[in-house]
Amino acid sequence: MEIHGVSAIVTGGASGLGLATARRLAAAGAKVMILDLDKDKALNAAAEIGCLGKACDVTQEEDVNAAIEEAEAENGPLRINVNCAGIPGGMRLVNKDGPVDMIRFAKVISVNLLGTVSVMTKCAARMTANAPLGQDGERGVIINTGSITAFEGQIGQGAYAASKAAIAGLTLQAAREFMPWGVRVMTIAPGLFRTPIADSIPEEVIAGMLDGRMFPERFGEPDEFASLVASIVENSMLNGEIIRLDAGVRLQAR
């Protein structure tokens, strides 16, 4: 799908991977709306990029519905949805005080999994009404953000790994459901990227990653994620797949 001129929603768009994505899509001519829990950061980022920005908690359905409504009213029929809103949340399944606090566990699932499902399904439902584009009759594309932790969860990452594994599991399933409408679904599973969320990753995990078993041996830059988003939008043969963007790293057992 051509990026130029189409309406796009990027969740978590005020920071990190989402911000780089919003920047990249806007630079390619998309009409972008940034959604983020942090209103000030969303508005500042939108002002800097020259796009729309709105406070939206992806776990609140009224917020999501209102945001999609506004995006379509201002920017036209929604054709691109990139879901980057997410939180870390390290916790052991059982620690010295006993089993994991289910409220903390559920919070991670709520934002990372249920928030993504809520936005992607509401966007997909709107996309079904779009006019088909080009010879393929494409109506839209949805890109979710997983993590390599989905496949190689380490100790203390249970809630996060479970939330991201569910995103991975939904990829082909959702793509199959949305195929009749010409709406694609893809997941990017990043390794370690230089964003504020990475500050919360324990130093020993980072040291364990940057240990010569990857190339290039460095953090990914947010624009490298955004560049893959743009490629996925532009390449209509990509559907129902999870792409690891991780310099070949495999998280070790620890």
Ligand X SMILES: NC(=O)c1ccc[n+]([C@@H]2O[C@H](COP(=O)([O-])OP(=O)(O)OC[C@H]3O[C@@H](n4cnc5c(N)ncnc54)[C@H](O)[C@@H]3O)[C@@H](O)[C@H]2O)c1
Q: State the catalytic residues.
A: 160
* Residue from 23, 32, 36, 205 in contact with ligand X (CB under 6 A): 36
Tell me the closest approach of the beta carbon of residue 116 to ligand X, in angstroms.
Answer: 8
Q: Which of 1, 17, 170, 174 binds ligand X (CB under 6 A)?
A: 17
CA distance 87 to 231: 25
Q: In this structure, what DSSP letter does residue 45 have?
A: H
In the stretch 110-149, what mask flags binding to ligand X with x, by CB under 6 A? -x---x-----------------------------x-x--
Give the residue carrying structure tokens 């994505």.
Answer: 21
The total of other beta-carbon atoms located within 10 Å of residue 62's CB is 9
Q: Shortest CA distance to 45 belongs to which of 72, 94, 84?
A: 84
Max CA distance (Å), the chain:
60
Among 11, 81, 130, 171, binds ligand X (CB under 6 A): 11
Closer to ligand X by Cβ: residue 139 or 164: 164
The CA distance from 212 to 204, in Å, is: 15
Question: Considering beta carbons, is residue 139 or 162 the nearer one to ligand X?
Answer: 162
118's tokens: 């809520």
Residue 109 found at the interface with ligand X (CB under 6 A): no
What's the CA gap between 199 and 183, in Å, rounded?
Answer: 35
Q: Is 91 in the site for ligand X (CB under 6 A)?
A: no
In the complex, the residues that contact ligand X under the rule CB under 6 A are 11-12, 14-18, 36-38, 56-59, 84-87, 111, 115, 145, 147, 190, 192-193, 195-198
